């Protein structure tokens, strides 16, 4: 049984990373810079997925100073394979499997919009922080996220899988006609926040 929060990610970690990695990997560098993670900080990646943010944190502070968790067991396993030496656990953002005051920074990249209870997740990030620690999150801009729903698109993968094979091919052909065979640029806006929760 998957922990709470993992239900929307019943896909192979590699497939998810092939799709989301193109966004989460470059965003991780900018997010870590925005947060101001110190080179000796003990850092938690909340909702680590296959490990894009975790890898950036390892690059900055070393594997021994990074811990991570994800509600999806396959994603947590993929993160551990990608980031040897990192303590990767299975757990939901609303119930982090880490002790009180155990990290200097708790970061969540593109996670809170998937969490069932965002205030509980924020409280958990605060709980695991040492005094003076920093909690930070980055999410997609709501207006950009909503535009797809407003146009009837819905979550792309689930929507597409619900279609018949001929309908899937029609959607693929329409998208291919729109973007063509060559490289194309996609832009997105993300919003980040950071702070030192009160004790």
The answer to whether residue 3 scores a pLDDT higher than 60 is: no
Q: How many domains does the chain have?
A: 2
Asked if residue 92 and residue 131 are part of one domain, the reply reads yes
Query: Same domain for 176 and 92?
Result: no
Between 157 and 107, whose confidence is greater? 107
Q: Are residues 123 and 167 in the same domain?
A: no
3-state secondary structure (DSSP) of residue 187: coil
Average pLDDT over residues 28-32: 95
Give me the mean pLDDT over the 168-182 stretch: 80
pLDDT recorded at residue 66: 99
Residue span of the structural domain in which 78 resides: 13-140
Tokens coding 28: 């991780």
Query: Are 156 and 168 found together in one domain?
Result: yes
Two structure tokens written together for 126: 């605060």
Q: Kindly state whether residues 97 and 174 are assigned to the same domain.
A: no
- Assess whether 111 and 88 both reside in one domain: yes
Q: Does one domain contain both 63 and 151?
A: no
Q: Do 111 and 84 fall within a single domain?
A: yes
User: DSSP 3-state helix, strand, coil percentages of the chain (rounded to 5)?
Assistant: 50, 20, 35
User: Structure pTM?
Assistant: 0.79
- Residue 135's DSSP bridge partners are 106, 195
């Amino acid at each position: 049984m998957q922990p709470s929060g993992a239900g929307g990610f019943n896909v192979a970690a590699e497939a998810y990373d092939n799709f989301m990695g193109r966004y989460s990997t470059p965003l991780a560098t900018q997010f870590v810079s925005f947060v101001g993670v110190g080179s000796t900080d003990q850092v938690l990646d909340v909702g680590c997925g296959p490990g894009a943010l975790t890898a950036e944190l390892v690059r900055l502070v070393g594997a021994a100073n990074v811990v991570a968790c994800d509600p999806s067991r396959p994603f947590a396993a993929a993160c551990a394979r990608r980031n040897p030496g990192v303590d990767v656990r299975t757990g939901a953002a609303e119930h982090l499997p880490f002790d009180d005051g155990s990290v200097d920074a708790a970061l969540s990249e593109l996670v809170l919009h998937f969490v069932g209870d965002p205030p509980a997740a924020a409280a958990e990030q605060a709980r695991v922080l040492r005094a003076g620690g920093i909690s930070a999150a980055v999410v997609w801009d709501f207006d950009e996220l909503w535009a797809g729903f407003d146009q009837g698109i819905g979550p792309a993968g689930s929507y597409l899988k619900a279609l018949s094979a001929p309908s899937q091919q029609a959607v693929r052909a329409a998208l291919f006609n729109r973007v063509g065979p060559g490289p194309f640029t996609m832009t997105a806006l993300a919003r980040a926040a950071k702070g030192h929760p009160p004790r």
